[in-house]
Chain A
């Protein structure tokens, strides 16, 4: 089967590339092996919170040029300031058209969001019910925080949140309270309510009667000037609609925090992108896995001719260009063996670290980056990878498959995914190999 472009991976990088390809009028397929890591994510878009040396960044745009000079191997430095911000702007528009308005600080600053552990994490663009705290934390306007514990719900612990929040020096004058709230719909169930995950609760709360009962209880414990911290327990395709209703019924300032998986905030992004991709005519091959590719010599370089998947065993999928958005270890973009890390489909060259001992920090919660998180595919400036030292000229790598950055420590995972997905399609369109 023939396409103009095939994207391997259906996460944030893959969908960004896929949607961009469709905009350019290309016949496009995405192959995804199960749902993506967005199901484990905060649903906020991180741009850049720390430099690789650990310095805190307040305004990514203001420091971009300096950053690019200092860290030329970082994917952002290859994409360049203009395209990075163009891509984020584009992403914001695309998501808004799919019903998810994302916002950021007007001056381009990062903001803090409160995490499910009650810590603060710097991010750049968030969904409507994320309360954006200023990075200059002392300027915050918060008077009181109410943390809601859902009775019997094990995937969110309000006590931990309130305990950790109260240790933040800038919050020392804030009243922080945690309150238990029960959900009436639990009582009729033929199940033990402590087995319920976020998605189960979301299904109960999608009932109009349940949400209004819940709203009544919330109104009693908080007032509109408070920040009401709720675990993300709404949404089964209609998360924002349910939250809007809850907001209308209560008038409260709701702050959603992701729970233990599945994270409904992240799912919201994936669902929106996936639906848009299909509505715009993309071919989505779900639950399939690319097993191998056929490469041919093309001058001094290699060319990926076709790929095979688990479902398309002997029937090749061909395309003028391919985008690799297969993610990191969790998404099976890389496979770690005891002594080596491999890219399992094409055996692309990685920036591996020889010494097994130095793959990680001794302390799991180390402030320093775990080196294995920066292991990835080596690419040229167009993000073409290499196979045994030879460039593959029509394959473009994106997102967490790339080498040279640590999405966790640097707080830049989704920003890199969006900007490299976007940039790769630009490169692809420039590539002389595009034949429609």
Chain B
């Protein structure tokens, strides 16, 4: 069922969503979620001429949906409309959008040559060229690639996972595979310390969220079908939960597939889980690994998609369960990067304005780390505050005693 199709009928036009829209807050030209979503949907039924190009200013953060008192899927309505009606104009920016959204293609191409690629994308000259040609903002550092993928490392270094009495399947996503295999390795350590083995899916592709955000819905849908097929196989064969360490991947696999892409995931949806809710449940059921005291202060930033999933509480409680750790929960607000959004020249200023309050709070915090569940929030926070930003799993792994 595509619930976004009709939910605009439930909108009572109160405009509360717009109060909580980070883009509307920073960019007065953006009409806001109410107008772009439910208001626009009503008009677009009449004629496509009513499709407003301003919809591409939406970051798909879904904070409008969390705020809505009438349970309207405002963000889904906007995303669906963009997928259907956004016209692709052949220009250099289309190439940029293609590059930014094909995370697994460019990951596969880049990881073998990671040191070279990282050096090139870091060069000021290349940044200026990219700024002027395809419109990747010159202030941004593109994500660094790792040398070798997580998948390859796993095959060589973790042959013994079957020995554990219980197994989980891990949807590692593009980020762990191409940019930060250490996060996957940390997860392996933590799970093994809890006597749980880690399996990979037979195959996986990018969850599709950057494709959705850049309006490539057909390609996103293909990935979704591919991933649902592979997840279904894992569930049928091994009956394992499917865990993700990315708050956005798990949100996309669970919610965007049926709501935005109209891809049926009902046979696996209840098996997909973001890592901290799985871990906290294990901890509470007595299966916590032995943790040494971590006498540090951290600030915790809630990513938008985790907020919308309603799961931030699990990460916060998990962090509070770490002995010695002082946890400061920051105001829940968008960091401004929103995946690929903030990399674009035309969005850079708005992106920085959205994140300003967050950056200032973190800079004034005296914390040892920032912690967040989302890789792109991590990039944005590190780039703009100079505070090392890690995933909750990295922190738990630090505390393992063995």
Known: A286-B307, A330-B69. A262 touches B35 (CB 8 A): no
Stretch at the interface among B16-24, B372-380, B392-400: B16-24
B65 at the interface (CB under 8 A from A): yes
| B313-A200 in contact (CB<8A) | no
Contact of A203 among B28, B68, B313, B332 (CB under 8 A): B28
CB 8 Å contact bits of B273-306 with A (1 = contact, 0 = none): 0000100110010000000000000000000000
User: Do B310 and A189 have beta carbons less than 8 Å apart?
Assistant: no
The docked-state distance in angstroms from the alpha carbon of A130 to that of B367 is 40
Beyond A34-B69, A311-B310, whether A191 also contacts B284 by CB under 8 A is: no
Contact B28 A185 (CB under 8 A): yes
Q: Cβ of B25 and Cβ of A287 under 8 Å apart?
A: no
Cβ of B20: which chain A residues have Cβ within 8 Å of it?
A: 35
- CB contacts under 8 Å to A, within B305-333, are 307-311, 313, 316-317, 329, 331-332
**What's the minimum C-beta distance from A372 to chain B, rounded to whole angstroms?**
18
Bound complex: CA A286 to CA B18 (Å): 16
A62 interface residue per 8 A CB criterion: no
> Nearest residue in A to B332 (C-beta to C-beta)?
A286
Question: Whole-angstrom distance between the alpha carbons of A315 and B309 in the complex?
Answer: 14
Please indicate the chain A residues that have their CB under 8 angstroms from the CB of B331 in the complex: 275, 278
In the complex, the chain A residue whose C-beta lies closest to that of B72 is: A34
- In the complex, the chain A residue whose C-beta lies closest to that of B307 is A286
Counting chain B CB atoms within 10 Å of each CB, the highest count among A288, A309, A313, A331 belongs to A288
**Contact for A283 among B281, B307, B313, CB less than 8 A:** B313
Contact present for A195 and B31 (CB under 8 Å): yes
Tell whether A346 is near chain B: CB-to-CB under 8 Å. no
A34 contact set on B, CB distance < 8 A: 16, 66-71
Residue in A190, A197, A283, A310 whose Cβ sees the most chain B Cβ within 10 Å? A197
Alpha-carbon gap, A101 to B317, bound state (A): 33
A189 / chain B contacts, CB cutoff of 8 Å: 28-29
B14, B20, B71, B308: which has the most chain A beta carbons within 10 Å? B14
User: CB < 8 Å: which of B35, B67, B68, B308 contacts A195?
Assistant: B35
Q: Which residues of B contact A287 (CB under 8 A)?
A: 65-68, 307-308, 310
B270 near A: Cβ within 8 Å? Answer: yes
| Cβ-based interface call for A204 (8 A) | yes
Compute how far the CA of A298 lies from the CA of B313 in the bound complex, rounded to whole angstroms. 30
Option from B14, B29, B307 in Cβ contact (under 8 Å) with A191: B29
B19 cross-chain contacts in A, Cβ below 8 A: 35, 39, 199, 236, 262, 267
CA distance A278 to B307 in the complex (A): 14
Asked whether any CB of chain B lies closer than 8 Å to the CB of A63, the reply is no
Residues of B within 8 A of A204 (CB): 28
CB distance from B336 to the nearest CB of A (A): 16
Flag if A39 contacts B310 (CB, 8 Å). no
Residues 1-29 of chain B, each 1 if its beta carbon lies under 8 Å from chain A, else 0? 00000000000001110111000110011
Do B313 and A1 touch (CB < 8 A)?
yes
The winner among B28, B35, B70, B270 for most chain A CB atoms within 10 A is: B28
* Distance (whole angstroms) from the CB of A85 to the closest CB of chain B: 31
CB-CB contacts of A28-48 with B at 8 A, as 1s and 0s?
A: 010001111101100000000
* Chain B residues within 8 Å of A275, by CB: 331
Q: Chain B interface mostly helix, strand, loop or mixed?
A: helix
Bound Cα distance from A249 to B20, whole angstroms? 29
Confirm or deny: A379 has a beta carbon within 8 angstroms of a beta carbon on chain B. no
Residue of B nearest to A312 (CB): B310
Which residues of A have CB within 8 Å of B28?
185, 189, 191, 200, 203-204
Bound together, the chains give a CA A311 to CA B310 distance in angstroms of: 6
B107 located at the interface, meaning its Cβ lies under 8 Å from any Cβ of chain A in the complex: no
Distance of A139 from chain B, by nearest CB (Å): 38
Pair B14/A288 contact, Cβ less than 8 Å: no
**Cβ B18 vs Cβ A199 within 8 A:** yes
Q: Using an 8 Å CB-CB cutoff, how does the interface string of A184-228 with B read, 1 for contact, 0 for none?
A: 010001110001010110011000000000000000000000000
Interface string of B327-349 (1 = CB under 8 A from A): 00101100000000000000000
Q: Which residues of A contact B277 (CB under 8 A)?
A: 315
Task: Closest A residue to B329 by CB, please name it.
Answer: A278
Of the candidates A37, A262, A310, A312, the one having the most CB atoms from chain B within 10 angstroms of its own CB is A262
Contact with A along B221-234 (1 / 0, CB 8 A): 00000000000000
Task: Check: B32 CB closer than 8 A to any chain A CB.
Answer: yes
Please, which residues of chain A bring their CB within 8 A of the CB of B280? 1
A309 touches B310 (CB 8 A): yes
A288 and B67 contacting across the interface, CB-CB below 8 Å: no
Question: Which residue of chain A lies nearest to B54 when distances are taken between CB atoms in the complex?
Answer: A190
Is A22 at the interface (CB under 8 A from chain B)? no
Q: Check if A203 sits within 8 Å of B70, measured CB to CB.
A: no
* Residue A285 at the chain B interface, CB threshold 8 Å: yes
* Chain B positions 52 through 70: 1 when the CB is less than 8 Å from some CB of chain A, otherwise 0: 0010000000000111111
Among A34, A279, A309, A331: residue with most chain B CB under 10 A: A34
Q: Is the CB of A261 within 8 A of B16?
A: yes
Q: Which of A29, A203, A315 contacts B25 (CB 8 A)?
A: A203
B316 in contact with A283 (CB, 8 Å):
yes
Given known contacts A200-B18, A331-B69, is B24 in contact with A288 (CB within 8 Å)?
A: no
Inside 8 A of A33's CB, which chain B residues have their CB?
69, 71
Q: How far is the CB of A266 from chain B (nearest CB, A)?
A: 11
- The answer on a CB contact under 8 Å between A197 and B313 is no
Q: In the complex the two chains form, is B25's CB within 8 Å of A236's CB? A: yes
Return A411 CB to nearest CB of chain B, in Å: 23
Subset of 17 A-B contacts with CB under 8 Å:
A34-B68, A35-B16, A35-B68, A39-B16, A190-B54, A197-B18, A200-B24, A236-B19, A261-B16, A262-B15, A278-B331, A283-B316, A283-B317, A287-B307, A288-B310, A330-B69, A331-B69
Which 5 pairs, one residue from A and one from B, show the smallest C-beta to C-beta distance? A311-B310, A287-B66, A34-B69, A190-B29, A261-B14
Interface contacts beyond A37-B69, A286-B307: sample of 11 additional A-B pairs, CB < 8 Å, sorted by A? A34-B70, A39-B19, A197-B18, A203-B25, A262-B18, A278-B329, A283-B313, A285-B310, A286-B66, A286-B332, A287-B310
Chain A residues proximal to chain B, CB less than 8 Å:
1-2, 29, 33-37, 39-40, 185, 189-191, 195, 197, 199-200, 203-204, 236, 261-262, 267, 275, 278-279, 283-289, 309-315, 330-331
